[in-house]
Structure 1
């Protein structure tokens, strides 16, 4: 027992040392093609065998679910809180087109591809596979989002799209998982449709209620100088998790509630809201590190063990045609140059949301083809971490150089 305790401590110490070393070298790493997700995925993969040998499968499963839920609630609320309705109406034609037209087209095309590659799994699993692989993750292309070489309009578009699409895709993920579970032999489907509708309807209602009440309460506290500025981060946690738990209590979907609460909170709260961004820059980055550690240690090995040629082909198609064709179609008539459409289509990396959705759906529902789903998601995220991480810096410099050399900022429209 003492040896076991020491080995566990050694793993934890190694992970903490890796986080500390990464923190010391952040500026130096930012100048290379190596990214945070690549580093912590590799560290997690190296720790995979020791972790599996030291921990019980039930403990690992509970730990994965707990980390996934906390991270997803905070990411959904934080991303949604930074979206301003008035700004969207005025200036965000491009990301709105990508979300309203491109996202459903991506899910539809992805569902067709997943079904054609594995028709035995059925349409429900094809929908679930497409849904969990549709949301994008700006963390994998952080170089693009923060690069001064990339025109601001493109950076803003990528930021807004990645911030909203994980919340918008949630109903598709939920329905896909429920339908796949209902197709399991011997599954009890009584009340399944009504339960699904309640989750999708009650989740937003709870989110609107909690987001508005908490925002107004905090505004009042700020107006009367009752609230210290440093308390904003704590209040943010209370709002996000209250919406999640409140929805779960009444039968709604907690993640949808957290996303809607963030959007309502951000558009209702009239004081400075920078405390959410400051909190997520610290704690949020730490959770992101652990999420990719978990992916490398617990999901990637299982995924690689069950990988097939179909999973590799599906991953390659989802990162290219399934993503880029719908985005190109959604941007027709916007006046953007072809290079800009392709740039926006390529930088839709799959990462945190796909990992978290897969963890939670596999834990919450039973359905056939779980291992195939895990293999597809693992391979897609693995390829995305490498390809988008490596290509971010050179493509950012290229798009910036072309934009500077072009007489027109957006180039010639290609229709």
Structure 2
């Protein structure tokens, strides 16, 4: 059953309200918000009772997903101050500079090996789409004080920045795929990719530095107040995206670079600055996961064993081996390397990049296979990482207890803001410390 976007919004808003009423009660259980909305989407969609449906090719779906990713890219980049990590910047640096390219390469190689009907460019598209990790799905880890701050912040910084790092690879492989399908000459497509990346970087730097400087200038004079501390970040993210798109650049790259530039110009973007924009992004993210559930449910019957095998490999070998290689010389214990390798959940960025690929190159021969692989991997990640988060934290804490006090994992460091906010004690900050909120 296909419904109008207005009906979808009403249903989603009702589900969001219902989940919010129980959110504190179910916190700490295996039922994450992402699991809830994906599961409800499958239940209400064509694979379930068929009460709700919305096509993946809908302009409404693509716009909603793009806005969600734009705000997430900007706020994730803006809230992470690499300078504050001090010596602890080594771990996220290794994961981003070495682990990310190796993950993409491993994803491409195994996709080409398992799916011989795909071209190398199509396999590359799979590798790039599934390389980014989702900070939202990893909140249970990065907000838990039971995980050492050094390990926690490595995952926090990696998930906040690697989606921006994977996007240029995605555009490159998308151009190669379109060239193979003779959509346009390769030289033209590659020049467009370079133009998109270059203009996206220029627009992001210009808007980020200008916006950050103006924000700091206004704040120093006491001109900006209240909720407008929060609105300015949301406004800058949207401006960077739309301006870059208007001049032919990548709005995603502009949003990511804009977030980094804003943080640099503002010197340190405070937690309150990004909280409003993150709240908006979280709502949109859950809407995307709900849509994902509606779409994924209808494709479950088409999934075969090779797709399932690749999904399992993507969450294990394709992620864990590059992480292990990138951490050679970091002197972390085997348990820490395994923990860092496992918690690379796939989510929002992978969903949005797939929607873009379908919109721009939906007619290529391998798109059905690409869609099945990405959907299966994200679906497996939502449930596997959500269910294993708390048990894995308890297991890791027991293993850490046996380590020497001078072990590299125990090295201290400054707490950085995480998605949803972090108090100095390492607990998620919700504005009150008691069991119940003030009335």
TM-score by length of 1: 0.91
Partner residue, 1:221: 218
Partner residue, 1:29: 26
Bigger helix fraction? 1
1:325 aligned counterpart, secondary structure: helix
Q: Deviations over 1:154-204 (max 9, x none)?
A: 111111100000000000011111111111146455621211111111111
1:360 counterpart (356, 362, 365) = 356
Cα drift, residue 89 of structure 1: 5.7
1:314 aligned counterpart, secondary structure: helix
Partner residue, 1:97: 94
Root-mean-square deviation over aligned CA pairs: 2.7
- Cα pair 2:229 2:272 within 8 Å, conserved: yes
CA distance in 2, matches of 1:15, 1:390: 23
CA distance in 1, matches of 2:331, 2:56: 53
- Cα pair 2:2 2:54 within 8 Å, conserved: no
Change in CA separation of 1:190 and 1:305 when aligned onto 2, cut-off 3 Å: farther
Structure 2 gap ranges (5+): 411-439
CA distance in 1, matches of 2:3, 2:322: 52
- Cα pair 2:3 2:52 within 8 Å, conserved: no
2:249 counterpart (242, 247, 252) = 252
Show structure 1 runs of 4+ deviating over 6 A: 4-11, 50-60
In the alignment, structure 1 residue 174 sits paired with structure 2 residue 143:
no
- Cα pair 2:231 2:277 within 8 Å, conserved: no
- Cα pair 2:141 2:152 within 8 Å, conserved: yes
In the alignment, structure 1 residue 404 sits paired with structure 2 residue 423:
no
Partner residue, 2:379: 382
CA distance in 1, matches of 2:409, 2:148: 16
CA distance in 2, matches of 1:66, 1:8: 12
Cα drift, residue 112 of structure 1: 0.4
Cα drift, residue 387 of structure 1: 1.0
- Cα pair 1:347 1:388 within 8 Å, conserved: yes
Cα drift, residue 228 of structure 1: 1.8
CA distance in 2, matches of 1:407, 1:70: 46
In the alignment, structure 1 residue 148 sits paired with structure 2 residue 145:
yes
Structure 1 gap ranges (5+): none
Of stretches 169-178 and 219-228 in structure 1, the one that deviates more from structure 2 is 219-228
Partner residue, 1:325: 321
Q: Deviations over 1:322-361 (max 9, x none)?
A: 1000100110111100000000000001111111111122
Cα drift, residue 210 of structure 1: 0.7
CA distance in 2, matches of 1:59, 1:344: 33
Q: Deviations over 1:290-316 (max 9, x none)?
A: 111010012x13442432222111101
1:120 aligned counterpart, secondary structure: coil
CA distance in 2, matches of 1:184, 1:249: 26
Cα drift, residue 118 of structure 1: 1.2
1:68 counterpart (65, 68, 77) = 65
Change in CA separation of 1:262 and 1:296 when aligned onto 2, cut-off 3 Å: same
Q: How does 1:2-401 map to 2 (within 5 A)?
A: 13-49=10-46, 61-88=58-85, 90-185=87-182, 187=184, 189=186, 191-270=188-267, 273-298=270-295, 300-366=296-362, 367-401=364-398
- Cα pair 1:306 1:371 within 8 Å, conserved: no
- Cα pair 1:99 1:161 within 8 Å, conserved: yes
Cα drift, residue 276 of structure 1: 3.7
Change in CA separation of 1:302 and 1:188 when aligned onto 2, cut-off 3 Å: farther
- Paired residues, number: 409
2:46 aligned counterpart, secondary structure: helix
CA distance in 2, matches of 1:212, 1:411: 36
Cα drift, residue 237 of structure 1: 1.9
Of stretches 26-35 and 70-79 in structure 1, the one that deviates more from structure 2 is 26-35
- Cα pair 2:126 2:370 within 8 Å, conserved: yes
CA distance in 1, matches of 2:268, 2:98: 33
